[in-house]
């Protein structure tokens, strides 16, 4: 399986206790990959490591250069009281290529316009972020991902609390990225959504319960095992029992 994200014996700790425990494997390149699991399973901790936000992990991680990776964190912090426009917010996705001191050229402005059209927000360029609904804000953030033009896209709970139409439109954008052979890794909770749209799944319960094609991973026995593992967690334990 081709991959641009490979993990070997990755362990991430929180307050001295493993949040992700000796994880090895690879995310399929050019496909839609989902990370699912019980609450507290380490999904967001793993995503922050993949994105390069956290460096305090053990093990080996192979990932693309930062310029080829785009990341949308969970509940992305965006102060909607600041008077910033939709155009300015999307244009932030070009900073990695333009740098902080170069102005936006005609090609950059056109990229922003195309990205907004791609998420259904043509004509919103001058609107302030604070004037938008939650769904419209998420569309803006996806437009920012579009202008980054990255090969690997990481999404942490991208559809949380969104309306059905916005979710469907953004899922369509994910399908477009797959058609363009981009690699998408998303933390999700809706298993029906995962079954309908995602090619590969990592079922995580601090350790990998199963990792592979969606239909094989989201079997009843694997989901039951993940729940059992979650119920057995002892956050006061400090001894690592999974080391081979």
Predicted structure pTM score: 0.91
Question: Higher confidence at residue 56 or residue 99?
Answer: 56
Q: What are phi and psi of 120, to 5 degrees?
A: 80, 25
The CATH 3.40.50.300 portion of the chain extends over 1-64+151-244
The answer to whether 97 touches 59, Cβ cutoff 8 Å, is: no
**Among the listed ranges 73-77, 116-120, 194-198, which one has the minimum average pLDDT value?**
73-77
- Bridge partners, residue 70, by sequence: 153
What does the alpha-carbon distance between residue 88 and residue 133 come to, in Å, rounded to a whole number?
17
Burial of 190-216, coded b for 16+ CB within 10 Å and e otherwise, reads ebebbeebbbbbbbbbbbbbbbbebee
Question: Rounded to the nearest 5°, which phi and psi values hold at 38?
Answer: -65, 165
How high is the pLDDT of residue 67?
A: 87
Cβ 229 vs Cβ 206: under 8 Å: yes
DSSP 128: B
Confidence of residue 11 (pLDDT cuts 50, 70, 90): very high
What CATH architecture does domain 1-64+151-244 belong to?
Answer: 3-Layer(aba) Sandwich (3.40)
Window from 67-76, 116-125, 135-144, 198-207 with minimum mean pLDDT: 67-76
Say which range, 81-95, 99-113, 144-158, has the weakest mean pLDDT: 99-113
């Amino acid at each position: 399986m081709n991959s641009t994200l490979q993990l070997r014996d990755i362990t991430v700790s929180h307050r001295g206790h493993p949040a992700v425990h000796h994880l090895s494997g690879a995310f399929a390149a050019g496909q839609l990959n989902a990370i699912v699991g019980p609450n507290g399973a380490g999904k967001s901790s793993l995503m922050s490591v993949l994105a390069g936000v956290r460096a305090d992990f053990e093990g080996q991680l192979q990932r693309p250069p930062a310029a080829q990776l785009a990341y949308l964190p969970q509940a992305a912090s965006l102060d909607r009281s600041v008077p910033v426009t939709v155009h300015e917010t999307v244009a932030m996705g070009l900073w990695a290529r333009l740098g902080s001191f170069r102005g936006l050229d005609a090609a950059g402005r056109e990229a922003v316009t195309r990205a907004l059209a791609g998420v259904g927000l043509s004509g919103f360029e001058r609107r302030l972020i604070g004037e938008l609904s939650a769904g419209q804000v998420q569309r803006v953030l996806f437009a920012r991902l579009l202008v980054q033009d990255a090969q690997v896209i990481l999404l942490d709970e991208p559809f949380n609390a969104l309306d059905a139409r916005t979710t469907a439109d953004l899922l369509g954008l994910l399908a477009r990225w797959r058609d363009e052979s981009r690699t998408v890794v998303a933390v999700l909770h809706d298993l029906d959504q995962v079954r309908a749209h995602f090619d590969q799944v990592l079922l995580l319960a601090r350790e990998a319960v199963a990792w592979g094609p969606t239909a094989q991973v989201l079997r009843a026995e694997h989901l039951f095992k993940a729940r059992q593992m979650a119920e057995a967690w002892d956050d006061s334990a400090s001894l690592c029992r999974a080391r081979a």
